[in-house]
Amino acid sequence: MPEIGLETPNTSAYIQSELTKLDIPFHTIINGSGVVGTIGEGEPCLMLRSDIDGLPMAEESGEEFASINGNMHACGHDMHAATLLGAAHILKAHESELKGTVKLFFQPGEEGYNGSDEAIAEGVLENPHVDRAFAMHVVSTVPTGVIVYGERPMAAAYNWKIVVEGVAGHGSMPDSCVDPITAAAHVHIGLQEILAREISPMSELVITCGAFNAGDAGNAIPQSATMQGTIRVFDKKTEELAKKRITEIASGIAQTYRCAATTTFGRPSPAVFNDKEFMEQCVEYAKQTLPQAQLYGGAHGMGSEDFGSISQACTANYMMIGAAAGPLNECYGQHNPHVRFDENALPMSSALYASVAMNWLSDNAK
């Protein structure tokens, strides 16, 4: 039952039913789609977060449980929800041993909907106040049993949209029209020069155009062409330069071809910055709890994750765990309709979630 964005009523209802069976108190946020449970009481408080939303793509994994509603958990968020429910079972069974409060946050709207921002605005980090936040993500192209971590594992991401306006008309009379497709195509090429000639090779920046749409008929020149994409970046200076130049290049090239361009940017998903001390504590907990696991530091990539907002609002750590469902040369990456995940990663992930919560609370009891 994969659901999209900030509206995940069936997923949320299932999570609520499982928490009810465990006698774990909870409340909902984000129009009833986000679920926040608590185990234990008092200070300090550590929050475990899992995202729960899917992607709008038809599943082609071949799994017997493959979704049939046109949506898919192609990023493994169903694994994350199951992992946190598994941790809830463990933590509830050991509730009397907890030296504080564990907050369980099942978050909708990670995939481009800024769900963590919505949750923060609704007070997910308060009542009780969250002292530490921890999250994990499965990776379909990393072997099961491998855990990777780093101080800067995920980049910031901004969606952008460029609309190039021309003058529509019949395809037989291009001289009486102003073709926005030609202008937009040159804008797309021009954007590549930002990386090639304007950004230091030492900086980290990715500019992607993932959608290009114009017209409905092959014999007509359309009124407009629309391009959509993302910026992925770590430092603010590079981000500001990229946004400035995208706007300038789109406008300048459009004018060259007698068109006009409007550029807009969506809400940001900030970079994930892990607290070094807390990260190192979590690594030790992982070694103690999962001695068979292989741990590798230095995780650093241009993917994005809206846990970044949480990591910038409180002390946090974010790790990744392998869940490759077969030989790596046969595995698909995430956001692919054929992707599969190894469910053997689930008990490991649940154990690590529970271990981080129990051990950190014990080490920092007040």
Cite the annotated binding site for Mn(2+) by residue number.
Answer: 75, 77, 111, 137, 335
Rounded to an integer, what is the distance from CA 243 to the centroid of its chain?
Answer: 21
- Integer Cα distance of 264 and 273 in angstroms: 26
How many residues belong to the chain?
A: 366
Half-sphere exposure of 39 (CA within 13 A, CB side): 29
H or E segment to which residue 359 belongs:
helix 345-363
Residue 84: phi and psi, rounded to 5, are -70, -35
Q: Which amino acid is at 68?
A: I
Q: Please list the alpha-helical segments (H only) found in 107-211.
A: 115-121, 180-193
For 43, the token pair is 């200070």
Cβ(130)–Cβ(36) below 8 Å:
no
Rg for the chain, CA atoms, rounded: 23
Residues 101-137, buried b or exposed e (16+ Cβ, 10 A)?
bbbbbbbbbbbbbbbbbbbbeeebbeebebbbbbbbb
- How distant, in Å, are the alpha carbons of 82, 197, 226 from that of 210? 31, 22, 11
Helices (H), 112-160: 115-121
d(CA 342, CA 352) in angstroms, rounded, equals 17
Binding-site residues, in ranges, read: 75, 77, 111, 137, 335
Which two three-digit tokens encode residue 343? 């469910």
